[in-house]
Amino acid sequence: MNTAAAPRRSSPRLRIAPTTRAPQAPPGVVAQVRLAFRPRARLATLLGCLLGGFVPVASFILAHREAEFDDLHGWLAVLLVLGGLVFSAKTVLEWGSMAFHDGRKALGLVVILEGSMTLSHTPWLAGAALAYLVGINALATGCTLSLAGRRS
């Protein structure tokens, strides 16, 4: 008997790349809020609410009390309001798109909320728009921070 080892077969192994998860769409509005208010995410959500909710409040006060075209301070206030609107509009557009599944409706929501909050001389209308914007920006920023903390 031949006790010599049989020759090794040199066949290349089929290498399969490790499976990578396809990028998933962010969870919807309701799912984000549920995730954000879980016990381990509450601190991040609170900090996000404080950060995100401040922007519409500051924009509202600046637009209705300080933004005038008389002097440099008034013009700087206008620029600050515009910055706040850009911050808020992006967030409201994203959440509106998730909620309505229609970009045009989301854009309409942005225009009416941001415009009413900034330009309306009817106190209850401007206040209602402000409340919506504070809520949307606070929850969106809170969800973003709590979800980011969950991933790390």
Question: What distance, in Å, lies between the first and last C-alpha atoms of the chain?
Answer: 62
Select the highest-mean-pLDDT range: 15-19, 35-39, 44-48, 65-69: 44-48
- Which pTM value belongs to this model? 0.73
Average pLDDT on 28-51 reads 83
**Residue range 61-99, pLDDT digits in tens:** 999 888 877 888 878 989 999 999 999 999 999 999 998
Which stretches does DSSP call E strand in 13-77?
A: none
Q: How far apart are CA 37 and CA 93, in angstroms?
A: 22
Sign of CA dihedral 89, 106, 99, 23: negative
Is 95:29 a contact under the CB 8 Å cutoff?
yes
pLDDT score at 35: 78
User: Quick one: pLDDT band at residue 9, thresholds 50, 70, 90?
Assistant: low
**Residue range 43-58, pLDDT digits in tens:** 888 888 898 889 999 9
**List of residues 6+ apart from 22 with CB closer than 8 A:** none
Please report, as a single letter, which amino acid is at residue 109: L
Please give the structure tokens belonging to residue 123: 């106190």
Query: What percentage of the chain exceeds 70 in pLDDT?
Result: 80
pLDDT score at 91: 92
Average pLDDT on 127-143 reads 90
pLDDT score at 7: 58
Average pLDDT of the chain, as a whole number: 83
Q: Would you kindly state where each structural domain of the chain is located, as residue ranges? A: 29-151
Q: How far apart are CA 91 and CA 107, in angstroms?
A: 11
Please give the structure tokens belonging to residue 112: 């009416």
